[in-house]
Amino acid sequence: MARVYNFSAGPAVLPVEVLEEAAAEMLDYRGCGMSVMEMSHRSKTFQTILDEAEADIRDLIGIPDNYKVLFLQGGASQQFAMIPMNLMKNHVADYIVTGQWAKKAWQEASKYGTANKIASSEDQTFSYIPDCSDLPISENADYVYICENNTIYGTKFKTLPNTKGKPLVADVSSCFLSEPVDITKYALMYGGVQKNIGPAGVVIVIIREDLITDDVFPGTPTMLKYKTHADAGSLYNTPPAYGIYICGKVFKWLKRQGGLEAIQKINQEKAAILYDFLDESTLFKGTVRRQDRSLMNVPFVTGSDELDAKFVKEAKEHGLENLKGHRSVGGMRASIYNAMPIEGVRCLVEFMKKFEMENGSHV
């Protein structure tokens, strides 16, 4: 078996321990004589898996009782519609556009009401987070929306925007469970799990109970109402059962690492290795304003498309995979999620040093 260091932005690396456990339980889950993907989602066995997953994520984040945790499908992208359909009671919402995902969410929301773009960093290719301390928040805004960690551009909100009392909605797909969060500052937090938690096919929505109502956009499908899923404990219909099972294992793995504070320390250490090198490199350059740098997604360039391509190719030959930047921005991007071991980052930096020596400084 040869595992590579996988720097993919998503679907992304998972902890080896989790994959090994899943492999060991594949044919016979704890004496059931069947795998988790073959069992009824109404069975007691699966209910226990679901209950434990919910209890563990509640524990990790510290989610109070007045928030629901929903395990849904449709990816993060489906939330771009579900959020306005459920939350836009006044048909007004304010969006902070810090990248493609926030932009898509903003565009989708405009189908259901007035979606105001109150700040943007598009003027500098989304390479920074705008000052959000005193934005023109709409008086009748139903919520203020952010994408907290911008997977493609490698920026992260280090302070949450001042929403002037309006509910905050955040897409945390690529920073989910990477550091401690105060969930009470959010009305709704959601993320596709395929970045930092589990396999594609599950999206987790953490939503304050008072926002779950029947007062939704006219014609909203049953499946797109938060209330449908909240009332049914995420079992209105067949949930993404196997994906939830793997997420549950990742939650337990995170607890064994020491929880979110411990994983944050490790993530900071990993990111520092890479950023410190980028800051002193004569060939590679980070593309993000220093104070807005993400701990999870690290984009960098050489300044030459040719050298970038050569780097990605040679890195792959060294077992360092998926370092190509997003198709919309080019260059390189190393996604160093929770499950990326620190040795993987060290190995990447060693390879970058070698590449720099061989290819000289390039301006």
Ligand X SMILES: *Cc1c(COP(=O)(O)O)cnc(C)c1O
Return the residue of 129, 141, 147, 298 that touches ligand X, per CB under 6 A. Answer: 147
**Contact call for residue 8 and ligand X (CB under 6 A):** no
**Contact call for residue 11 and ligand X (CB under 6 A):** no
Please report, for residues 57, 169, 176, 271, 297, the alpha-carbon distance to residue 195 in angstroms, rounded to integers and kept in the order given.
Answer: 16, 19, 8, 16, 10
**Contact call for residue 114 and ligand X (CB under 6 A):** no
- In sequence order, the β-bridge partners of residue 204 are 71, 191
**Smallest distance from the beta carbon of 226 to ligand X, in angstroms?**
17
| Paired sense of beta strands 285-286 and 114-120, if any | unpaired
**Smallest distance from the beta carbon of 99 to ligand X, in angstroms?**
8
**Contact call for residue 94 and ligand X (CB under 6 A):** no
**Smallest distance from the beta carbon of 117 to ligand X, in angstroms?**
17
Residue type, 1: M
Residue type, 60: L
Q: Are 53 and 248 in contact (CB under 8 A)?
A: yes
145 Cβ neighbours under 8 A, 6+ residues apart: 83, 93, 94, 95, 96, 102, 105, 106, 109, 169, 170, 171
DSSP 134: S
**Contact call for residue 173 and ligand X (CB under 6 A):** yes
Q: Which residues are catalytic?
A: 101, 171, 195
Binding segment (CB under 6 A) for ligand X, from list 62-70, 171-179, 215-223, 239-247: 171-179
Nearer to ligand X, 154 or 302 (CB): 154
Residue 106 among known ligand-binding residues:
no
Binding segment (CB under 6 A) for ligand X, from list 32-40, 117-125, 167-175, 242-250: 167-175
**Contact call for residue 292 and ligand X (CB under 6 A):** no
**Contact call for residue 331 and ligand X (CB under 6 A):** no
Report d(CA 326, CA 153) in Å as an integer: 8
Binding segment (CB under 6 A) for ligand X, from list 74-82, 113-121, 180-188, 323-331: 74-82
Residue 287 among known ligand-binding residues:
no
Report d(CA 132, CA 136) in Å as an integer: 9
**Contact call for residue 171 and ligand X (CB under 6 A):** yes
If we measure between CA atoms, which residue out of 124, 175, 123 comes closest to residue 146?
Answer: 175
Q: Would you tell me which residues interact with ligand X (CB under 6 A)?
A: 10, 75-77, 101, 147, 151, 171, 173-174, 192, 195
Binding residue positions: 42, 76-77, 101, 151, 171, 194, 237-238
